[in-house]
Amino acid sequence: MLRELERYYEDYCESIRQEAEKLRAEEMPEPTEDLFAIYENTGNRLIYEDVYFERRKFLAVFGLKAILDGEERDIQKLEDILEGICAEECWALPAHVNRMTDENWRTYVDLFAAETAQTLAEIASLLGGRLSQETVRTVEQEVMRRVLAPFSASRPPYSHWEYGASNWCAVCGGSVGSAAMYMLKDRPEELTAILERICHALETYYLKSFAEDGACLEGLGYFTYGMTYFAGFAGQLYEFTKGRRDLFRSEKLARIAAFQAKCYFPSGRTVSFADGSADERFRVGLTCYLAMKYPEAQIPPMERAAGLDGDNCYRWMGLYRNLTWTKEYIDFLGGQGVRAEEEADAGKGNAEREAGGEENAGKKADGKEAAAGKTVLPDAQWIICRSANGAGMAAKGGHNGEPHNHNDVGSFFYINGEDFLLTDLGCGEYTREYFSEKRYEHLCCRSLGHNVPLIDGREQLAGEEYGCGRFDAQGPDSTLVSFAGAYANPELKSLTRRLDWDEAEGTLRVEDRFQVTEQLRSIRENLVTCWKPEIQGNTLRIQGPHSGCVVTIEGPEVKADCIRQDFSDHGGHHREVWLIQWEVPGTGKAGDLSARFTVRAV
């Protein structure tokens, strides 16, 4: 691991230098009024945000380059960028302000206004002796005017995020608190008041947004987002107060820090529940920092590490700490003599390969790869299973009022190697409608876009009251989920899903048992895949780019339909999605019904 981290650090520094050379002769794009108004007129966020985040890319790249190498030409370029950012009419995004109803919209503190303030304050502090006095003065004035002054003058809560149980609390609060420590050193009373508010918000509300088992219900990407700003602020506060204020003492944080690695499969793909992603990449700096504090915080496979371009918003807090925290962890490991241990392990591994053949390298004595096994998050009601042959599955209970909620109680997905074959679509394109009463018209948010049944043609309902009645994943092979309550259909008396996982073969057997009245006319199983299946009677074959699976429907022959749907992913890319549906035999009579199918890796 030490050698991998050293290579990562060297490559990261080189990527900063290369990106700076690409951008050196370019000018930042301008965030015009016409671009700002696009969201207001159409609900589209991406067009303006592409320009906004390209400007943050300039800011991050030349801030990092100036700190890394200190060349005068980088300082000069950075000064121009800082002046340009300070000249923007509004640091908040159009999606987060209302120009019609809020006369102070230009100084509203949202995620990105707060992030911008933290970035400028930190860069000005780190490079204050190299930047012109005029630029530093401009930065100080704008950070105060746009962020610190509005927050300081407000009565708590400033906005929904101050007492909000979500990533907003950590990102906005951590950014405001960090900027305040840089900018308000000569105003101790005001600084103390701000820091107390931020600490109260983070300890009381942000940490409560995590399940007691440490799971981030918003999705893995939001774990990274919020924890980066929480850890950045908490670390700065610890240094600023000389250890008197330590937010890391929470016992729950050890479980939170362990959450990230639990979401990775051996192929590097990730759990995509809620507004997550199956292709999440981890931030090395944050992960290293947590690993220094908590033994439970493991580092995922380094091939899944995010580089300079791993965050398309180019958030400074994480990108800068990819330098500082990664280097700190490298020194930490070096001080523990890890290199000698790794070299010894490498020699041992070579000897084993020579003695037992390449095919046995990296396996346990029982022939199973170390990655096989299951992870249960009982409070979140998640189970994540991995097999010895590279297949995996995850299932969830929960309820339909979770943060960044999808109506997905009782859902599961199946993965073989790199391919999500029965999928969880994860996060869709963020538009105005996506965060409105029309959210559940989006396929990725509604239960139709998840591997759960349709009851009399109806989907699950949104709201905390619609959820899982029982979730039991403590058995060696089986998980039971009872989730009739997610449908609120009086004709459906019970619905229990049993998932049997074969760890050796990567085979999943699903049995759904329904107790219904005679008034219930239709139950349709519903599976979701991103590749058009081949259907032959009760056999469904799904082939991804690298691997496939066979779904075998047990019992009498059914007519399985294949329905094409469109899905717009988080990047705004349109993708084909296929729904596989079949009718569960026996509806129209009161009593018990069942449906069984098996998913096997091929």
Amino acid at 360: N
Least confident of 252-256, 340-344, 469-473: 340-344
Within 10 Å of residue 492's Cβ, how many Cβ atoms?
21
Q: What is the mean pLDDT of residues 414-443?
A: 97
Q: Which of 170, 26, 57, 43 is nearest to 119 (CA)?
A: 57
Domain ranges of the chain: 2-14+98-341, 373-601
Share above pLDDT 90 across residues of the chain, in percent, rounded to a whole number: 91
Place of tokens 């009373």: 189
Q: ∠ CA(413), CA(296), CA(391), 5° rounding?
A: 25
The Cα–Cα gap between 399 and 409 comes to 6
Instruction: Using alpha carbons, list the distances in angstroms from residue 168 to 56, 230, 308, 310, 439.
Output: 19, 11, 23, 20, 19
Torsion of CA 313, 209, 473, 410, to 10 degrees: -70
Give the Cα separation of 48 and 396 in Å (integer): 36
Instruction: Flag whether pLDDT at 331 surpasses 70.
Output: yes
The 10s digit of each residue's pLDDT in 541-596 is 999 999 999 999 999 999 999 999 999 999 999 999 999 999 999 888 889 999 99
Give residue-wise pLDDT tens across range 512-539: 999 999 999 999 999 999 999 999 999 9
pLDDT computed for residue 370 by the predictor: 42
Provide φ and ψ at 357, rounded to 5°: 90, 150
Contact between 142 and 90 (Cβ < 8 Å): no
> 47-61, 391-405, 465-479: which has the minimum mean pLDDT?
465-479
475: Cβ–Cβ under 8 A, 6 or more apart, which residues?
none
What span, in angstroms and rounded, lies between the C-alpha atoms of 173 and 151?
10
- The number of residues in the chain equals 602
Query: Average pLDDT, stretch 224-249?
Result: 97
Residue 470: pLDDT band by 50, 70, 90 thresholds?
very high
What are the tens digits of pLDDT across the range 7-27? 999 999 999 999 999 999 999
Q: What angle do CA 264, 267, 273 make, to 5 degrees?
A: 40
C-alpha to C-alpha distance for 563 and 560, rounded to whole angstroms: 10
Question: What mean pLDDT comes out for the span 180-206?
Answer: 98
Q: In the Cβ-directed half-sphere of 110, how many Cα atoms lie within 13 Å? A: 14
Contact (Cβ atoms closer than 8 angstroms) between residue 135 and residue 83: yes
Q: Average pLDDT in the 149-174 region?
A: 98
Q: pLDDT by residue (tens digit) across 116-159?
A: 999 999 999 999 899 999 999 999 999 999 999 999 999 999 99
For residues 484-509, give the mean pLDDT: 97
Residues 6+ apart with CB under 8 A from 337: none
Which residue is listed with tokens 């962020």?
147
594's tokens: 């069942």
DSSP 113: H
Q: Tokens standing for 460? A: 């699950």
Q: Give me the architecture of the 373-601 domain, per CATH.
A: Distorted Sandwich (2.70)
Tell me the average pLDDT across 20-47. 97
Specify whether domain 2-14+98-341 bears CATH 1.50.10.100.
Answer: yes
Distances 213 to 217, 377, 379 between C-alpha atoms, Å = 11, 6, 6
The per-residue pLDDT for range 43-87, each reduced to its tens digit, is 999 999 999 999 999 999 999 999 999 999 999 999 999 999 999
Asked if residue 497 lies in contact with residue 510, where contact means CB atoms within 8 angstroms, the answer is yes
pTM above 0.95, yes or no: no
Res 372: pLDDT: 82
Which tokens in the block code for residue 563? 């329905």
In this prediction, residue 533 carries a pLDDT of: 98
Tens digits of residue pLDDT in 474-493: 777 899 999 999 999 999 99
Within 13 Å and on the Cβ side, how many CA atoms surround 530?
20
The sign of the torsion formed by the CA atoms of 500, 271, 213, 463 equals: negative
At residue 343, the pLDDT reads 54
Mean pLDDT of 299-321: 96
What pLDDT sits at residue 365? 32
How does DSSP classify residue 320? H
Q: Determine the average pLDDT of the residues in 184-207.
A: 98
Report pLDDT for 339: 59
For the chain, state the CA radius of gyration: 26
- pLDDT reported for residue 362: 35
Sheet containing 523-529: order of strands = 454-455, 523-529, 574-583, 561-568
Q: What is the pLDDT of residue 467?
A: 98
- Tokens coding 61: 């790249």
C-alpha of 184 from chain center: 33
Sorted by sequence, the CB contacts under 8 Å of residue 504 that are 6+ apart come out as: 368, 372, 387, 388, 389
**CB-neighbour burial class of residue 102 (10 A; exposed 0-12, middle 13-18, buried 19+):** exposed
347 pLDDT more than 60: no
Q: In whole angstroms, what separates CA 151 from the centre of its chain?
A: 28
What band does 340 get if pLDDT is binned at 50, 70 and 90? low
Q: What average pLDDT does the structure give for the chain?
A: 94
Residues with Cβ < 8 Å from 331, sequence gap 6 or more?
Answer: none
CA 377, CA 250: separation in Å to the nearest integer?
19
Asked if 2-14+98-341 and 373-601 have one fold, the answer is: no
